Structure 1
Amino acid sequence: MFHRIRRRAKESEEQRRFAELSARLRDHVPPGIGVPPAEPQPIEPTAQVDDFLPPDLRVPSHDQVDGTMMPWKQPLVLDGTMVACAGCGAYRDWLILSTRGQIWLRCRSGHQQHEARLDTAWFNRNRGPADATHATFEDCLRHLGH
């Protein structure tokens, strides 16, 4: 019982102190409130730079490239069947080419065949980062060892 009386007395003392502090601060305005803002300083123009990369380090965009290719060493299995070359019967060591929204397979012997069961989304999911760009198709074949 006495504990509750002491707690109420303590709470009422804290409330009284809070009310006094609030009354004192009621007319006090923090610095900067109600004062018009300072005029912004004029900014000097900076030198214009055309790009942050030098031309020899720029990578061509997807619309500037005729196609991309990646090596595929293991057998390619689609819909439960292993894909084989129509010309020589090879079933591994493919180059997979993505160009104009189509996927083409190229075997080590140089035979190419269109693969309608693959699309560019599959190609983009399975390829790694591009390590080089080439001016011609033959340069790219040489780079990939075909």
Structure 2
Amino acid sequence: MFERIRRRHAAEPSEMQRRHFEMWARLEGQVPPEVERMRAELQPAEPATLVDDFLPPELRVPSPAQLDGRMMPWKQPLVMNGEMVACTECGAYRDWLVLSTRDQVWLRCRTGHQQHEPRLDTAWYNRHAAPADATHATFEDCLRHLGH
């Protein structure tokens, strides 16, 4: 019995399937009138005016290309590879200024001695530095701002 039903269904579509295919063929190229009305309303009558959405110059953050470098204070001792870093001239081991410039990191002690630290890189600086709170025109202005 089921075999006869399967053969009959496989041979010809049912009346319901035939009506569905006919209805689908009639509706295929049509667009509802509401869609045409909405398309007409969406067409802008005139182009929108352009608005300058940039921040005012005093609120803009300078890009890295516009900066000669960045500095941050480092009050605690700096330990790398189990060894405490000390100033090569005066022996100070805390209260550093860490300077990042031209893909190099420099350390400056409280007395003003500077030394290049090849074990640190810009990625290390970026991980440990807080957001900049000010920009300065000269190196000395930045030193004064950080209390050195």
TM range (shorter): 0.7 to 0.9
Match of 2:139 among 127, 131, 137: 137
The TM-score with structure 1 as length reference comes to 0.75
Cα 1:105–1:44 change in 2 (3 A) is same
Name the structure 2 match of 1:5.
none
Return the match for 2:21 from 23, 26, 46: 26
Separation (CA, whole Å) in 2 of partners of 1:81 and 1:46: 63
Deviation at 1:125? 1.8
Q: Distance in 2 between matches of 1:112 and 1:30?
A: 82
Relative to structure 1, is the Cα distance of residues 76 and 31 closer, same or farther in structure 2, using a 3 angstrom cutoff?
farther
In structure 1, how many angstroms separate the alpha carbons of the residues matched to 2:45 and 2:26? 27
Question: How many residues of Structure 1 are paired with residues of Structure 2 in the alignment?
Answer: 133
Q: TM-score, normalised by structure 2?
A: 0.74
Which AA in structure 2 matches 1:33? E
CA distance in 2, matches of 1:95, 1:30: 77
Runs of 4+ in 1 over 6 A off after TM superposition: none
Distance 1:31 1:113, change over 3 A: farther
Alpha carbons of structure 1 residues 29 and 131: separation in structure 2 relative to 1, 3 Å:
same
Listed as ranges, the gaps of 5+ residues in structure 1 are 1-7
In structure 1, which of residues 111, 115, 118 is the aligned counterpart of residue 117 of structure 2?
A: 115
Kindly state the Cα deviation for residue 49 of structure 1 after the two structures are TM-superposed. Answer: 3.0
Note the alpha carbon deviations across 1:68-115, whole angstroms, 9 max, x for none: 011111111122211111222110111100011111101111111111
Structure 2 equivalent of residue 85 of structure 1: 87
Q: After superposition, what is the alpha-carbon deviation per residue over 1:9-57, rounded to whole angstroms, capped at 9, x for unaligned?
A: xxx9xx9xxx554333221138973137967735632222344211111
Change (3 A) 1:59 1:20: same
Residue 92 to residue 30, structure 1, CA distance change in 2 (3 Å): farther
CA distance in 2, matches of 1:20, 1:107: 92
Give the CA RMSD over aligned residues: 3.0
Three-state SS of the structure 2 residue aligned to 1:29 is helix
Tell me the equivalent position of 1:48: 50
Query: Which stretch has the larger CA shift, 38-47 or 67-76?
Result: 38-47
Q: In structure 2, how many angstroms separate the alpha carbons of the residues matched to 1:109 and 1:32?
A: 86
Question: How far 1:61 moved relative to its partner?
Answer: 0.4
Change (3 A) 1:123 1:35: same
Superposition deviation, residue 67 in structure 1: 0.1
1:7-18 matches, within 5 Å, as: none
Once the two structures are aligned, what percentage of the paired residues are identical?
66
Aligned equivalents of 1:101, 1:95: Cα separation in 2: 16
